[in-house]
Amino acid sequence: MGLLSLMASQPVLACSYDGQFNNPFAESYPGALDIAIATREAIDAQHITKPQRLAGSKGLARAQWWLTLLNKQWPDAVAAESYIYLVDSQLWSKRQMDGLTIHVPPPENAQQVMLLSEAALGALINNELSYEQAYELQIVQAVTQ
């Protein structure tokens, strides 16, 4: 009983890096499925490169690194306080004036959210395409929900 209550008190931050199965056809956040489909189309059309699949702590470490670079390279791309959501891994990050916090719960109220896939994130970080091109390909969206 003690273990059960301890587990129940832990925050639920279930992204695919936690070993959680994520159904790629389930829309985890409004617009996420559109991003996933547009990303697949962009990879198939060779507009962007599909990153090597990394699971567990290695995948999380790469995502954290790329998100940190995104936050530094394009500080004005999203509002001063906003969220970034990687739709394929279902990983949430929160951007504030004092920095970026990765692996946070989703927003509870209306916030600006940047939706993108890990492939889109990698393409932006590796200068395969610009923000404008990513928006045109619909592999990045900024929404307020």
Each residue's pLDDT tens digit, 131-145:
999 999 999 999 987
Q: Is the pLDDT of residue 26 over 60?
A: no
Say what angle helices 118-125 and 32-44 make with each other, to 10 degrees. 60
Tell me which residue range forms the domain holding 50.
Answer: 26-144
Span 82-111, average pLDDT? 89
Identify whether 44 is part of a domain: yes
The reported pLDDT for the residue numbered 23 is 55
Of 122, 70, 124, which is closest to residue 99 (Cα–Cα)? 70
| Model pLDDT for residues 63-77, shown as the tens digit of each residue | 999 999 998 886 565
CATH number, domain containing residue 65: 3.30.1050
Identify whether 4 is part of a domain: no
Identify whether 113 is part of a domain: yes
Torsion, Cα 78 96 108 55, to 10 degrees, reads 80
Q: Is the pLDDT of residue 22 over 60?
A: no
Identify whether 10 is part of a domain: no
Identify whether 68 is part of a domain: yes
Identify whether 19 is part of a domain: no
Identify whether 69 is part of a domain: yes
The reported pLDDT for the residue numbered 17 is 52
Identify whether 16 is part of a domain: no
- How far, in Å, CA of 133 to CA of 91, rounded? 23
- How far, in Å, CA of 36 to CA of 104, rounded? 21
Span 33-50, average pLDDT? 96
How many domains in the chain?
1
The reported pLDDT for the residue numbered 128 is 95
pLDDT band at 9 (very low <50, low <70, confident <90, very high): very low
- pTM score, whole prediction: 0.80
Q: Is the pLDDT of residue 79 over 50?
A: yes
